[in-house]
Structure 1
Amino acid sequence: MLSCRDEVLQLTDELVRVESVVNTPGEIDVARALHQKLASLPYFQKNPERLLLSRTVNDERERYNVLAFVEGTKAPASNRTVILMGHIDTVGIEDYGHLKERACSPSALMKALHQETLPPLVKQQLESGDWHFGRGVLDMKSGVASHVYLLSYYAEHPDELTGNLVLLAECDEEDSSHGVLSGLKDLKHWKETYGLEYIALINSDFVAPLYEGDENRYIYKGTIGKLLPSFFITGAETHVGSCFEGLDPNFLAAELTRQISYNPELCDEALGEIPVPPVSLKQTDLKPSYTVQTALSAYVYYNFFTVSWSPKEVLDMLKKQAEIAFANALACLDSRYRQYRERCGESYHPLPWKPRVMIYEEMNRQLREEHGDRFEQHMKAFKAQLLLDESLDTRMFAARVVEEEWSWMKDKSPAIILFYSSLYSPAIDLAGKDERERELLQALEEAVAAVQPHYAYPIVTKNFFPYICDMSMVSLRDDEAGIRAVSDNNPGWGTKHYVHYQDIRDLNVPAINVGPYGYDAHKKYERMEIAFSTEIVPEVTNLVIRKLIGEK
């Protein structure tokens, strides 16, 4: 076993002390700090071209990745290369409240927490001394610290590797994956420059219990995918005093959320594993201010995890769900209208609306056919102007584009328009489809078997990392039709949002996740178990490296 606990913990604290909240200048600070640390190593002083502080591309913000490359010198020489990947940004620290100033100082935070009233488990783990607290200790600076420790070791001992080791410490994992998507270009450049053959990638994002009382420590052989299906909902405006003369889009939105959120029928399944169902991430109308008129439109979007379904399949099934929701909402409204008229002693006449659901590309195609170049030039200018509004993220940008296109529709009867408004993160798996996958699977199996006797809790491998992570951006199984379903149905594609999926195809490397273990990532009691995170994680990672590029 490696004797690395103290060093990995120290590296973790060094990284945590640099506040690096996503979309803030802290992302620059942490990248520069890590780059400076690696630049101090004799290996990179001798080979400075193998260490990069690389600015992201096609990004509205200035921020950087850190990449480093160690060439093994053990005979027989090989171009086989293992990538170590981890993100150096974190979520915000506002949730720490009055402890906010200590959030990025583990020792000071833990000292302060001893004076707080804590949940029983948090209190127990804090007092044990076996857990480490602070923003980013779990998600995922201890994982990066493990990678940095191993890279630094092999920078001093390249004669122990027949192949090569590359580190990608990327920014912006917590928002839009600009870091990894830019890093793909640097990895491709090194591949071409040095003739590297990327055979495996080891990510080190956090792992956590999957249910109450779960004592397993998980290693993942792939990751779930994620889509953000979004719905622009139009109604028929009316004065609230004549509410049944209109159709409130918020009423439709509520029924749509009831139909989609937490619906187990919308859970994908592959390799015996099932991700959680969709859940609403935003629901709002687009009314700019108070009036006594009902809203003209509403906007909702949902998290949607995949393990086998394509973006096109998801669109098709959600169109059906929207049609069901629309019909149910109208049936409910009609029933309530009938009851109201009966109570008033007045005659009832059926309400006029019918379910109407369109996928964005269908509406866009119809508008281009009806209005031709005039529509296309208008929308080009509209998007260019909209880009000037820096307050709009990709999701609201897409909604505003759909809203503007809807204004060109000749038939403005109530409708639901379905589209994508954010990054598509593809699902990946490790099923032994080729020799690289089989080698990685075997190396991982042997590493876990070797380490398990030295650790008290079960180390269990599963197929799909259950949270969003940048592993999604290192391999792609979707065909061109699958990607077109994303690009053709994202109203911000090519302006506010764009992903060069060919870069992912060009890398297409098998990946696993061996990461720190803990609780409450993204919460104020974020903490990691020290033993697993600083001893077991680097040990398993190192054994996989040695199996793949260290043995003759």
Structure 2
Amino acid sequence: MLHCGKDVLNLTDKLVRIESVVNTKGEIDVANGLHQLISSFPYFQKYPKNLIKSRTENDEVERYNVMAFVKGTKEKSNKTVILMGHTDTVGMEDYGHLKDKACFPDKLMEALSNEDLPDLVKEHLNSGEWHFGRGVLDMKSGVASHLYLLKYYSDHPEELAGNLVLLAECDEEDSSHGVLSALTDLKRWKEEHTFEYLALINSDFVAPRFEGDTKRYIYKGTVGKLLPSFFITGIETHAGSCFEGLDPNYIAAELTRQISYNPELCDQSLGETPVPPVSLKQTDLKPTYTIQTALAAYVYYNFFIQSWSPKDVLVKLKEQAETAFDNALNNLKARHKRYCEISGHPYSELPWKTRVIVYEDMQKSLIKEHGEKFIEHMAAFKEKLLLDSTLDTRMFSARVVEEEWNWMADKSPAIILFYSSLYSPRIELTGKNQAEQNLLNALEEAIKVVQPHYPYPIVTRNYFPYVCDMSCVALSDDEEGVGAASVNNPSWGTKHYVNYQAIQEINVPTINIGPYGYDAHNRYERMELKYSTEMVPNITNEVICRLLGMDGKEISQTLSESTITKS
């Protein structure tokens, strides 16, 4: 076993001390810092072209990936393993008065010792076996593990039978500009150096699945993430004559009741079940107060998938929306009738009908009806809308649908179903080809080697349960399934675009071996030291050795004092 804990921890703290909140200048700072560190390694002083700092493409924010590779000399081989991790973090507002210490683990832990802490947090803090701070878990310790291995093999290329690539990517916490841009560099290196990408090892954090869970998980794939969105139109009316109109907020409320937390919308696959959808935003589109009901409402939901495609989800959610619309109207009719009974108001049937339209179908009907006039108008509208920097892709999409709705001849109340953000593809690693089987075998053997040195069970699961950038290096969906995510996204090609063909061209089998801890994204973020700084690099190295046909032997401890431990 490698005794690498101290070195990986020092590298972790080096990275943590560089504040790198997503969508801020900090992403530039951490890229500069990491690039400078790797540049100091003797190998990269000799081969400076093997290290790049690459700006993201089609990105409104300036930020950079850092990428490096070592060519082994043990034997001539094109076999290549990619090590990936992200260098950005979420914000630090959750630390409150400790915010200025969030990126300085020693100072933070000293300050926390004087706080009133939850029992488990206090136990971990006092044990000396856990490390606290923004990014220590998610996921700078994972990047540090990869960096440790890159440094070793750069010092000892004669022990490497193949090639090792490091991809330290930005913008994982928002829109994945980092990894999507890195596909260009990975493809270029593949062509220039004839790299044969065997596998990608990500190192995002892992956590207990439930209270009392002691297992440490390694994931062989990842959930996909969609953001199904609903633009809901009603009939505006004065609040004093509420039954003369149809409030879209009322429909939206029923839609959320139907979809949020619904176990029937869990995509069970390979014996595993992701969490059900949940609402991430629900609002009407009135800009200010009036006594009128709203004309339109907007709601979107997080939706994890494991085996379903974006097309499958549209079919299922159209059915759910129709059910919700039916239920809302039936309840409304009953309430209207009861109101008329108790008020003496003359009763008449309400005219509203259930109407759910998938965005792609609405667009086709508008183009058929209005032709080039509609197409040209919407192109100009989107260009103008791009000038509004306050709109994210989700609200940009809503405004596009709102504008297109104005062209509809039939403006009776409706729900328009579409996608308004990035589709992070699902990844399955099942051994369906030799490359996948080789990675599965290497992982199984690696765990067998390392497990005796660690007291808690190290086990594999099929789907990483959170959004991560593993989604952007391989595809399990077919062309039709992925296509549904683009043709039903109103911002596609303007505010938002993903080159899924570029993902397909890399399409490398991927696993996640990451640091273990609790409370990522909140003020008690922490990693367990032994697993995160010792087990993770050891398991990763064992996988690398087996994939490249090297002996899974111990690495000698010859890392440079000046580049690893110096503050």
Please report the TM-score for the alignment, with normalisation by the length of structure 1.
Answer: 0.99
Per-residue CA distance 1:15-74 (angstroms, 9 max, x = gap): 011110000010000011000000000100111111010000111111000000000100
Distance of 1:550 and 1:542 partners within structure 2: 12
Any conservation in 2 of the 1:161–1:550 contact (CA below 8 Å)?
no
Any conservation in 2 of the 1:208–1:217 contact (CA below 8 Å)?
yes
2:302 aligned counterpart, secondary structure: strand
Which residues of structure 2 form unaligned runs of 5+? 552-567
Distance of 1:348 and 1:208 partners within structure 2: 58
Amino acid at match of 1:8: V
Distance of 1:93 and 1:140 partners within structure 2: 15
Per-residue CA distance 1:183-222 (angstroms, 9 max, x = gap): 0110000000000000011000000000011000000001
1:15 corresponds to: 15
1:68 aligned counterpart, secondary structure: strand
Say yes or no: does 1:545 pair with 2:544: yes
1:66 corresponds to: 66
> Residues 340-419 of structure 1 correspond to what in structure 2 (within 5 A)?
340-419=339-418
Amino acid at match of 2:276: P
For the aligned residues, what is the CA RMSD? 0.8
Distance of 1:157 and 1:454 partners within structure 2: 25
Amino acid at match of 1:396: M
Q: Comparing 336-345 with 176-185, which one deviates more in the overlay?
A: 336-345
Distance of 1:429 and 1:328 partners within structure 2: 37
Distance of 1:287 and 1:104 partners within structure 2: 41
Cα displacement (A) at 1:436: 1.0
Any conservation in 1 of the 2:262–2:277 contact (CA below 8 Å)?
yes
Per-residue CA distance 1:355-413 (angstroms, 9 max, x = gap): 00000011111111111111111111100000001111110100000000001111111
2:198 corresponds to: 199
> Residues 20-169 of structure 1 correspond to what in structure 2 (within 5 A)?
20-75=20-75, 77-169=76-168
Q: Percent identity?
A: 71
Any conservation in 2 of the 1:160–1:550 contact (CA below 8 Å)?
no
Q: Comparing 346-355 with 254-263, which one deviates more in the overlay?
A: 346-355
Distance of 1:483 and 1:548 partners within structure 2: 30
Per-residue CA distance 1:493-541 (angstroms, 9 max, x = gap): 0000000101100001000000000000011110000010000000000
Q: Between Structure 1 and Structure 2, how many residues are aligned?
A: 551
> Residues 230-245 of structure 1 correspond to what in structure 2 (within 5 A)?
230-245=229-244
Amino acid at match of 1:288: P
Per-residue CA distance 1:457-501 (angstroms, 9 max, x = gap): 110100000000000011112222112211110000000000010
Distance of 2:234 and 2:166 partners within structure 1: 52
Any conservation in 1 of the 2:238–2:292 contact (CA below 8 Å)?
yes
2:6 corresponds to: 6
1:539 aligned counterpart, secondary structure: helix
Distance of 1:529 and 1:477 partners within structure 2: 33
> Residues 269-284 of structure 1 correspond to what in structure 2 (within 5 A)?
269-284=268-283
Any conservation in 2 of the 1:55–1:64 contact (CA below 8 Å)?
yes
Distance of 1:101 and 1:349 partners within structure 2: 64
2:371 aligned counterpart, secondary structure: helix
Distance of 1:429 and 1:45 partners within structure 2: 39
1:297 corresponds to: 296
Amino acid at match of 1:463: N
Distance of 1:256 and 1:547 partners within structure 2: 50
Please report the TM-score for the alignment, with normalisation by the length of structure 2.
Answer: 0.96
Which residues of structure 1 form unaligned runs of 5+? none
Amino acid at match of 2:459: V
Amino acid at match of 1:441: L
Amino acid at match of 2:26: G
Distance of 1:401 and 1:216 partners within structure 2: 46
2:259 corresponds to: 260
Distance of 1:291 and 1:344 partners within structure 2: 26
1:428 aligned counterpart, secondary structure: coil
Distance of 1:213 and 1:18 partners within structure 2: 34
